[in-house]
Amino acid sequence: MKTDKKLLSPLEVAEILSISKKTVYEIIKRNELKAFKVGNKFRIDQDEVERYIGKKDDSQIDNDLKEKQSRETVLEEKNILNKIYRNYIDNKIVICGQDVILDILAKYMNRYKDEGKVLRLYDNSFNGLCALYNDDVHVTASHIWNCDLDEYNADFASRVLIGTPITVVTLCHRMQGFYVLKGNPKMITGWASLAKRKARIINRELGSGSRILLDQSIRKYNIDKNMIIGYSDYVNSAGEVVNRIRMGQADVGIGLKCDINCPEKVDFIPLHEERYDLIFKSENLEKLQFKRLLKILSMDEFKDECVSIRNYDYSEMGNIVKKFQK
């Protein structure tokens, strides 16, 4: 029977489908493409190739539709969860940050029963600023260093909360440094040691103040992060960093001295004093709860309890660093 359609070799089919010849044989083996032998060689009818292309296109359309429906479902669920969360925090104050002194602050604020309850959210500095921008929290703590300005929090926060007047209030000053094994066997002395001493670091997650301090410092001193062993390995808390050092899974990490829970196994090398601030939108300054927050920061009782838990420098607690107005 005469036909205008030609018989194609696997190589010709591969060129039409923009796949390898080997893949064509695999498709034939899976019975997705019908072929027959002419002598000892496979041949595929052109109609069969066109059928396969049409089937593939239909399948792709189905997959695209399913992906679109999946994205819409996720977005709808996200909107529902967001609405539930917004209803839950209505008439409440959410304070974001990971230091225990924020728990003490929330406890003092919750002594006042005539206002909404104060809740806590535990997240890092960058995520906290984003949450503040999105009105998911009302107050966030931050220790983000700008090495170009040698300044903490205010400039960075004003750029994250673009166009939003904010107030920056000091909580305390803390010392950041290296955690190393007892006796400092890798002879870590400063930032340059990270690349020169072949020491394995355990990093912090993106967005944490400690991670930003590391990234800003290696940029300042022109240290190639690819030369730092373990740079891409990270954990989500200072306690986890200490544990990795203690167990010998890393040689060095970054954090606060107070987070060392095993001083017999881990030493601390002080590096950089940081300022730990509270940040909130300036539009809330005149609200009763925020006035009480500032009042609590000036109370000796509150400072004494903070000192008993975390021996930071509280000499500037309650100082308004920056007040960005409209």
Q: Taking Cα atoms as reference points, which of 230, 97, 209 lies closest to residue 147?
A: 209
In this predicted structure, what is the pLDDT of residue 147? Answer: 92
pLDDT of residue 1: 43
Burial code of 50-80, b = ≥16 C-beta within 10 A, e = fewer? eebeeeeeeeeeeeeeeeeeeeeeeeeeeee
Instruction: Find the range with the poorest average confidence among 33-47, 167-181, 260-274.
Output: 33-47
Cα 217–175–170 angle (5° rounding)? 100
Looking up tokens 């039409």 gives 16
What the block records as the tokens of 234 is 């990270």
Q: How many residues does the chain have?
A: 326
- Burial (0-12, 13-18, 19+ Cβ within 10 Å), 271: middle
Q: How far is residue 255's CA from residue 203's CA, in Å, rounded to a whole number?
A: 10
Say whether pTM exceeds 0.85.
no
Q: What is the rounded average pLDDT of the residues 28-36?
A: 86
* pLDDT single digits (tens) 298-307: 999 999 999 9
Q: Note the pLDDT tens digit of each residue in 173-193.
A: 999 999 999 999 999 999 999
Q: Per residue in 237-253, pLDDT tens?
A: 999 999 999 999 999 99
Task: For residue range 68-125, list pLDDT tens digits in order.
Answer: 666 666 677 777 777 887 888 888 899 999 999 999 999 999 998 777 799 999 999 9
**For 117-153, what is each residue's pLDDT tens digit?**
999 999 999 999 999 999 999 999 999 999 999 999 9
pLDDT of residue 324: 65
* pLDDT digits 0-9 by tens, 193-214: 998 878 999 999 999 999 999 9
pLDDT of 323 over the 80 cut: no
**At the topology level of CATH, where does 91-323 sit?**
D-Maltodextrin-Binding Protein; domain 2 (3.40.190)
Amino acid of residue 84: I
Residues 4-17 have a mean pLDDT of 82
Structural contact between residues 292 and 112, judged by C-beta atoms closer than 8 angstroms: yes
Give the pLDDT confidence score for residue 196 in this predicted structure: 83
pLDDT at 17: 82
Return the sign of the alpha-carbon dihedral for residues 224, 228, 233, 234.
negative
Q: Higher model confidence: residue 55 or residue 229?
A: 229
CA 91 to each of CA 11, 86, 243, 289: distance values in angstroms, whole numbers, following the listed order: 69, 10, 39, 11
Out of 55-64, 79-88, 265-274, pick the least confident: 55-64
| φ/ψ (deg, to 5) at 325 | -100, 170
Pairing status of strand 252-256 against strand 201-204: parallel
pLDDT confidence of residue 85:
78
So what's the pLDDT on residue 300?
Answer: 96
